[in-house]
C-alpha cells in the first residue's frame, strides 16, 4: 500500500513538473519574441503607423485596436526606449496612456486599457476556415458568420470600407505567386482570439480593428495591415 501511494505521489509530482515546464517554455518563448530587434519610428507618426513599423521590423504577428473620432488620427514623436520589441511597444503606449499592449499566445495586441471592445468580445461557437488563400479571405469567412452579422446589428455598428491588401494580388508581369492556404477550426473563441489565430497561422500578419465614432454614428473596420 505504501509503495502504491509513493508511486501515485511521484506520478503527481512528475505531472506537475511537466505542466510547469510547459508553462515555463511558453513564457520563455514569449520573452524571446519580446527580445527581438524592432524599430521605434524616428519621425512623427500616428500610433497605427508606429505599431506597424515595430511589428514589421520584428516580424511578429499581432493586432491593433484603435478608437477614433471625426478628425485625423493624432501623431506623436516617439522616444526610443531601446532596441527590442518590448522597448518599442513601451515607447509607443507611453505617448497615449489609454492604450496597453498584451500577449495572447504568441500574438501581441495593443488595445484600450479598459479591454476589448464589444464586437471583439463577441462569442464564436465554431469557426471553420477552409482553403482561404489569404488572410483577407480568412477574415471574410469569419465576418460572414451569422452570429457576428447579428452582433453587428445588435451593436448598431456600420461596416466601413475594408480593402484587399496589394500583397494578396499577383502582378501580371511578375513571377508566379505561391499562394498560402489557411485552414483553421476554432471553437468557443472571441472574435479577437479568432483574428489572432489567423495572424499566427500566417506568422507575421497584423490586423487592425478600428472603431470610428463620429456624428452619432459608429463605424468599424477590420483589415490586415501587415502580411
Domain boundaries, the chain: 45-226
The pTM for the full model equals: 0.82
Q: What are phi and psi of 38, to 5 degrees?
A: -145, 155
Average confidence score pLDDT of the chain: 84
Length of the chain: 227
Mean pLDDT computed over 69-96: 95
The number of C-alpha atoms within 13 Å of 150 and in the hemisphere containing its C-beta is 6
- pLDDT reported for residue 163: 62
- pLDDT reported for residue 20: 40
| 28: pLDDT strictly greater than 50 | no
Where do the DSSP E strands lie in 4-50? Answer: 45-46
Over residues 98-107, the pLDDT tens digits come to: 999 999 888 9
Q: Is 161 exposed, middle or buried (0-12, 13-18, 19+ CB in 10 A)?
A: exposed
Lowest-pLDDT range of 23-32, 183-192, 202-211? 23-32
178 vs 82 pLDDT, higher one:
82
Mean pLDDT computed over 214-225: 95
Mean pLDDT computed over 140-148: 96
| 6: pLDDT strictly greater than 50 | no
| 127: pLDDT strictly greater than 60 | yes
Amino acid at each position: 500500500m505504501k509503495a502504491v501511494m509513493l508511486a501515485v505521489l511521484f506520478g503527481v509530482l512528475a505531472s506537475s513538473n511537466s505542466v510547469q515546464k510547459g508553462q515555463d517554455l511558453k513564457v520563455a518563448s514569449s520573452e524571446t519574441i519580446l527580445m527581438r530587434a524592432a524599430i521605434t519610428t524616428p519621425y512623427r507618426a500616428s500610433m497605427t503607423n508606429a505599431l506597424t513599423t515595430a511589428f514589421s521590423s520584428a516580424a511578429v504577428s499581432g493586432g491593433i485596436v484603435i478608437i477614433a473620432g471625426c478628425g485625423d488620427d493624432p501623431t506623436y514623436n516617439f522616444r526610443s526606449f531601446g532596441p527590442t520589441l518590448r522597448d518599442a511597444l513601451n515607447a509607443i503606449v507611453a505617448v497615449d496612456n489609454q492604450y496597453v499592449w498584451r500577449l495572447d499566445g504568441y500574438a501581441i495586441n495593443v488595445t484600450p486599457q479598459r479591454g476589448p471592445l464589444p464586437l471583439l468580445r463577441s462569442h464564436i461557437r465554431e469557426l471553420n476556415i477552409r482553403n482561404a488563400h489569404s488572410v483577407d479571405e480568412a477574415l471574410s469567412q469569419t465576418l460572414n458568420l451569422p452570429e457576428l452579422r447579428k452582433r453587428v446589428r445588435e451593436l448598431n455598428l456600420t461596416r466601413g470600407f475594408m480593402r484587399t491588401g496589394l500583397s494578396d494580388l499577383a502582378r501580371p508581369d511578375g513571377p508566379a505567386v505561391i499562394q498560402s492556404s489557411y485552414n483553421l477550426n476554432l471553437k468557443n473563441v472571441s472574435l479577437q482570439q479568432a483574428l489572432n489565430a489567423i495572424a499566427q497561422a500566417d506568422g507575421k500578419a497584423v490586423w487592425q480593428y478600428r472603431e470610428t465614432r463620429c456624428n452619432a454614428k459608429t463605424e468599424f473596420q477590420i483589415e490586415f495591415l501587415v502580411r
